[in-house]
Amino acid sequence: MISQLLDFLGSDLAHYWKIAAAVMPALLKGFVETLKLALVGIVWGSLFGGMLGILRGQYIRIATPLIGAYLHLLRGTPFLVQLYVIYFVLPNTGYSWLQWDSQTAAFVSLGIYTSSYVTEIVSGAIRAIPRGQWEGAFALGFTRLKTLRLIILPQSVGLILPALGGVYVTLIKATSIVSVVGIVELMRQADISIVRFPGDILYIYFLAGALYFAFCFPVLMLVGRLEERSKNGRMVRT
C-alpha cells in the first residue's frame, strides 16, 4: 500500500528531493566510513605490499617463489571468499588473538587484498629499472640497501605512484563487499535507507552510486593523465 503510494508520488520531483534530503546524511556518513576503510587498507597494504615488492623485485632465492605463491593465492580467489576465510575460518582455529570482530577482519582482509596489487606494482617498477643501475652502484661500492634507497627506488617512484592511484579506486570498490560482514559503510547505509524507503530502491542505489562515482572518477582521470605522462618518458612530479 505504502509502496504503491510512493510509486504514485515517484513521478514527483519534490518527492525525490525529499528522499535525497532524508537519505543523504546517512549516505555521507557511510561514505566517510568507506574512505576510512580504504585508507586503512591502503596504508597496511602499501606497507606490507611495498616490503614484499622490494623483496620480489630482486630475485632472492627463497623469498621470490614464496611471494609468487602468495600472489597467486590472492589472485586466484575472490575477495568475498578471502573475507569469509578471514572472518569465519581464522576465529575457528581457537587462538584468542585471531578472534577478530568484523571491523578488524575487514581491515585485515582489505590490507591483504591491497598488498597483492602493491607487491606486483612495486616489483614490476623495480624490475623496470635497467640492471646497469645496480651494477654501477655496486661498482661505486654502494651496499644493496643503499642502492635501493638512493638509486633504484627514486627512479621507480614515477612508475609506482600512478598505479597506486588505480589500486586506490579498486580498493574503494572492494570496500562495498565488506558490507556483507556487517560493516556500516556506504553500501550498507544504502541498504538501511532502503528499509526506510522501500519504494525508492533504485533511486537510493543511484545516489550511493553517484557518491562512489564522485570519488573514483576524478582519481581515475588523474591516474590516466599521470600514466600518459610517465609513458611519454617524463618524470611524474611527486
Partner 1 sequence: MEDFVSAIQSAYNIRIVGQYVDEFARGVGHTVTAAAFSLALSLVFGLALALMRISGRRFLSYPAAAYVQIIRSTPLLLQIYIVYFGLPAIFPSMGRLPEIILGIIALTMHTGAYMAEIIRSGLLSVPNGQREGAIAVGMTTFQQYRYVILPQGIVNIIPALLGQTAILIKDTSLLSLITVFDLVSAGMLLNSDRVRPNEAFLTIAAIYFVIYLLVLFLSRLVEDRLAGRGWRVPA
Residue 145 CB, shortest distance to partner 1, in Å, is 31
> CA 124, CA 121: separation in Å to the nearest integer?
5
Q: Does 105 bind partner 1 (CB under 8 A)?
A: no
Question: Per CB under 8 A, does 222 bind partner 1?
Answer: no
Phi, psi of 187 (to 5 degrees): -60, -45
* Residue 92 lies near partner 1 (rule: CB under 8 A): yes
CB of residue 44 to partner 1, shortest distance in Å:
20
**8 is an interface residue for partner 1 by CB under 8 A:** no
Candidate list 16, 79, 100, 142; residue touching partner 1; CB under 8 A: 79
Residues for the chain: how many in total?
238
For 108, counting Cβ atoms within 10 Å of its Cβ (0-12 exposed, 13-18 middle, 19+ buried), the class is buried
Cα separation values, 188 from 31, 33, 53, 171, Å: 10, 10, 34, 16
- DSSP assignment, residue 89? I
Assess 216 for contact with partner 1 (CB under 8 A). yes
Would you say 27 and 192 are in contact if contact means Cβ atoms under 8 Å apart? no
The residue from 82, 109, 114, 156 that contacts partner 1 (CB under 8 A) is 82
Out of 8, 17, 138, 206, point to the residue binding partner 1 (CB under 8 A).
206
Residue 220 within binding range of partner 1, rule CB under 8 A: yes
CB of 235 to partner 1, least distance (A): 20
Label residues 182-216 b or e (16+ Cβ within 10 Å = b). ebbbbbbbbbebbeebebbeebbeebbeebbeebe
Q: How far is the CB of 143 from partner 1 (least distance, A)?
A: 32
Judge whether 138 and 196 are in contact, CB under 8 Å: no
Q: In which residue are the cell numbers 590516466 written? A: 224
Least separation, in Å, of the C-beta of 194 and partner 1? 9
Residue placing its CB nearer to partner 1 in the complex, 51 or 219: 219
Element spanning 124, H or E: helix 102-127
From the list 22, 28, 39, 73, which residue makes contact with partner 1 (rule: CB under 8 A)?
Answer: 73
Rounded CA gap, 121 and 187, in Å?
28
Q: Is 89 in the site for partner 1 (CB under 8 A)?
A: yes
Footprint of partner 1 on residues 117-176 (CB under 8 A)? 169, 172-176
Q: Which residues bind partner 1 (CB under 8 A)?
A: 72-73, 75-82, 84-85, 88-89, 92, 169, 172-177, 179-180, 187, 190, 201-202, 205-206, 208-209, 212-213, 216-217, 220
